[in-house]
Amino acid sequence: MKVRFLGHSCVEIIGKHHILIDPDFIHPPQSGVEYICISHAHRDHIGRVAEVPEGFILASPDVCEYALKKYGVERERLCAVKAGDRQANIRILPGFSVTNNFIHLIFSLLIKHKIPEPAGTPLSFLVEDEASLLHIGDANQAPENISPDILCLPWRKAPYKPEAYQESLINLAKHLSAQYILPIHYDLPGTEANPQELISLVDAKILEGNDWHYISKQKG
């Protein structure tokens, strides 16, 4: 299988299937996408979904409706899923979000002077291929009893308590003990971070840049 980072939280995987996760990309994916997974409905995760004219979209029911009404995605492409479901080699797992709580609402009103955009019901995705890949959106939590080969880690400076957030990401990476870490979400204006910082903080191999990374060895 091969994996690459396309900007923001967008990851492209080509193996048993051609999969795109969180389609708000800076670098466009290759044609032939079969499945598009959306962790939640924030624009930096879903914003360019309508620009990918192919592939079934896997998301929570409320996020599917958001893709339909706000982005004009054809209803026949939408596949509403929930934690515990499976599509092809994609396991749908519980997701986590700090943006659905009261503290985030107050922070957004005080600092950004606006109500935060709806996130919908969050999901995580585990792609099971020659190696397994876990994508948790921009969360700092992961489902229990998961041991991925590749962890897509949202390495960013969160607007609220950034040091504590990054420390929680390091603890998560160490707990999951993935062999590879693919840094994501580090290039969003206002929350930029340096993915090279991870080299000295975790034992995993860091998959840097936007080029393809070829992974074939399964963990264990």
How far apart CA 109 and CA 86 sit, in angstroms, is 38
What's the pLDDT tens digit per position in 110-135?
455 444 456 789 999 999 999 999 99
**Highest mean pLDDT out of 107-116, 160-169, 187-196:** 187-196
Measured distance CA(103)–CA(11) in Å, rounded: 29
Confidence of residue 109 (pLDDT cuts 50, 70, 90): very low
Please name each of the domains of the chain with its CATH number: 2-214 (3.60.15.10)
Q: pLDDT digits over 72-83, tens only?
A: 999 999 999 999
Q: Which residues contact 96 (CB under 8 A, 6 or more apart)?
A: 122, 124, 136, 137, 139, 140, 141, 142
Higher pLDDT, 20 or 106: 20
**Bridge pairing between strands 123-128 and 90-94:** antiparallel
Q: What percentage of the chain exceeds 90 in pLDDT? A: 79
pLDDT: which is higher, 7 or 103: 7
**Among 1, 54, 46, CA closest to 30:** 54
**Measured torsion, CA atoms of residues 213, 55, 40, 123, in degrees rounded to the nearest 10:** -70
Residue 200: phi, psi to the nearest 5?
-90, -5
